[in-house]
Structure 1
Amino acid sequence: MSADQLSRILAPADHVVFFGGAGVSTESGIPDFRSATGLYKTQSGGEFPPEYMLSHSCWADHPEDFYAFYRKNMLHPEAKPNAAHYALARLEKAGRLTAVVTQNIDGLHQMAGSQKVFELHGSVLRNHCVDCHRSYPVEAIEQSTGIPRCTVCNGIIKPDVVLYEEGLDPDVMDGATRAIMAADVLIVGGTSLNVYPAAGLLEYYRGDKLVLINKSATPADNRAQLVIHDSIGKVLGQAVDEVLGDKA
């Protein structure tokens, strides 16, 4: 059993780091981007391709189109954490997991109870006025129409997410890099490892216990001690239960 193999790797570990992508959230009903049923294959940006709709250029040059696409496709208020999120939170609470590094922007890891989360691509739950920098919750965009505006200065409210053409936060990248460098076990889950610079973080792992959990093959499969092509929620849930006990 894959979960049994993972539990044996986790049992002696106390500096586990999890690095995850869109496949972690698909089990919560949030579509990924690049699969056959993903956002880029199923959604149209009208006259523009979906990749452009999530770019800084679109936000700056066609803001009404950007926010219409963003509201429809990037906000999922109904989504709840799944077994993978809860298993990681339990592992952290037990003092075994030191950090979650995620490419997701949905906040589900924190909703499940994870404390140390490096959000490489930001979060839809955080938003700010580009002029006066006032902070706004996700509802300020979700419940608005057209271009969301600041109630103080009328500036545009922008999501704190990393759009195409924008750079990743250097402090978040530094924290994620340090966590991965110090990991005794690195679990990579729900990511094709084709999106850079995030995928390049694997190069900083110095250990010999790399675990890959993804439904399809990745470029790093040949480097891993354990490769699992199965549901990430099922595998992590069962493995953490075996390591901590069902009621831990």
Structure 2
Amino acid sequence: MESFIQLHPVLQALIGTLFTWGMTAAGSGMVYVSKEPGQKTLDIMLGFAAGVMIAASYWSLLAPAIQMSEDMGVPGWIPAAVGFLAGGGILRLVDRYLPHLHLGLPTSEAEGVQTRWKRTTLLVLAITLHNIPEGLAVGVAFGAVAYGLPSATLAGAIALALGIGIQNFPEGMAVSLPLRREGLSQNKSFTYGQLSGVVEPIAGVIGAAIVGISRPILPYALAFAAGAMIFVVVEEVIPESQQSGNGDLATMGVMLGFTIMMILDVALG
């Protein structure tokens, strides 16, 4: 643990997001298990992932952003509001133009610019899209620790990485299992599933490096990551968990995920 503390924040962010990527790969590896989870289980897990992301957006990102702003003599709501809306706005632009297809929908309902890309590619891109803010959030959290602010602790950053990693397990399943049902081999389903998490280490390193440039950027960057995650939750994760008629179970998954992430952040942070 001491050796980890002494590492540069960018390296800490890389290790943290490699863990979250590994959890995505572990979830994708469920295609090799003989008994596939039912749709109810998948919907509960998607709801759980949404709950973790919602809780992380406040406890690990927005709340520290507000506290940091006030410590810097800036009204706490300004960076939080500006960064939050900017994060959602940027994800909206990416969502509008990047070709992708949400799980359970026909290829004719693919979003983004028109393309002849394969259905499997479009499905993977949909999950990849919401892994970007997750990696960014972890990277920014580790980068913030370098400034020694009371609201930015290493334990809090580790808690965020743990929470994102836990919810990445069902996300990996949510990619690989539908691909398997569509006729892809186990190996291809696993490969595509874990590839959706590759962007997390990349986004994490970028996030940690950016906040290392200037301290005033910190609260905006934290709020930006929160806004991006909330956009993904509302636009993609929750609707997918509700579309198969398991809304009540998925909602309980959201409550459970929120509670566990809140406990992790408060207990460790």
| Shorter-chain TM-score above 0.5 | no
Greater relative contact order (Cα < 8 A, sep 6+): 2
Identify the structure with the greater strand proportion: 1
* TM-score, scaled relative to structure 1: 0.29
TM-score normalised by length of structure 2? 0.28
Higher helix share: 2
